[in-house]
Amino acid sequence: MQKKMMVLLIVAALSLSVLGAGSVQAQGENDQANLATLVNKLDTSITSLRKGDTGPSTLISDASTIYQSSFSPRLENIDNSLNTKINQAFTSLAQNPVEENIFALRADVLRAASLIGISLPPLYAYSLFILLGVGVVVSLFVTLLNKRLVNWDFVRENKAKISEFQKELREARSKKDMKQMHKLQQRQSEIMKLQGKMFKQTMKPTIIYIIPLLLVWTILLNVYSGWVVAWLPFSIDLPIFGRLVAFGVGWWYFITYLGISQIFRKIMIRD
């Protein structure tokens, strides 16, 4: 069963890579690629603005250059008023970036693109749901592998023993019962051996799924590098990562995988 799941996971990952390369990068500077780049620059300008960086104006100017060369000439003959509105917005926002106005410009650009028959590649337009689907497949694969290869009765039994030992040790320390503490300390090596056995037991599946997971992760980073998958309604200041203002591929994949895998574990493993 796990072999079939592994093959399915690798095939899905490779297919995702081929689709991504075929739809945007492999075809060079086509219309969809230009639109994806333009939208990405607008999105990045918003994240930059939220973080208080100094780069939003440059990003908006870069997006304007793409629009002028790839879309504006064709839109003039279809909806000149919309084209004028977009050009004026680019000029204004390059001088004074405002988040809500950049979002409005983004929507206008997508509407303008649709009028001349251009849309975002599906991999980017539906990135939130595609990555959610990948998270479901990966977490299901990992959960099935864990269920099959790990002796969960052994893990649960020893986890209960360790938990009971830790509870008794805390109680002995709180009561300053030296006799009980000495007795429990004599069991310390036994408990450490149990912890080691549990660790080996739960780590067994990792040897099998680590390579496919790294492959999926590498492909996702290559396809969605720099792409904003989901917006946060507020910012979060994190100790190491800095200010989080939007979910890119890393954060969105991590959160969806972690949440879904916990659900699968509760249902299938009951851990």
Instruction: For residue range 165-220, list pLDDT tens digits in order.
Output: 889 888 888 888 888 888 888 888 888 998 898 888 888 888 888 888 899 999 99
Q: What is the pLDDT of residues 208-259, one digit of tens each?
A: 888 888 999 999 999 998 999 999 988 888 888 888 999 999 999 989 999 9
Mean pLDDT, all residues of the chain: 86
The residues near 160 (Cβ < 8 Å, ≥ 6 apart) are none
Arithmetic mean of pLDDT, 127-131? 95
- Is residue 189 a part of any domain in this protein? yes
Domain residues for the domain of 92 are 27-120
What global pTM score does this model have? Answer: 0.75
How far, in Å, CA of 33 to CA of 138, rounded?
28
User: Residue 230: beta bridge partners?
Assistant: 247
Instruction: Pick the closest to residue 137 from 14, 261, 42, 49 (CA basis).
Output: 261
- Is residue 255 a part of any domain in this protein? no
- Is residue 98 a part of any domain in this protein? yes
The residues near 194 (Cβ < 8 Å, ≥ 6 apart) are 158, 161, 162
The residues near 193 (Cβ < 8 Å, ≥ 6 apart) are none
- Is residue 249 a part of any domain in this protein? no
Asked if residue 108 and residue 48 are part of one domain, the reply reads yes
Instruction: Pick the closest to residue 120 from 109, 136, 105 (CA basis).
Output: 109
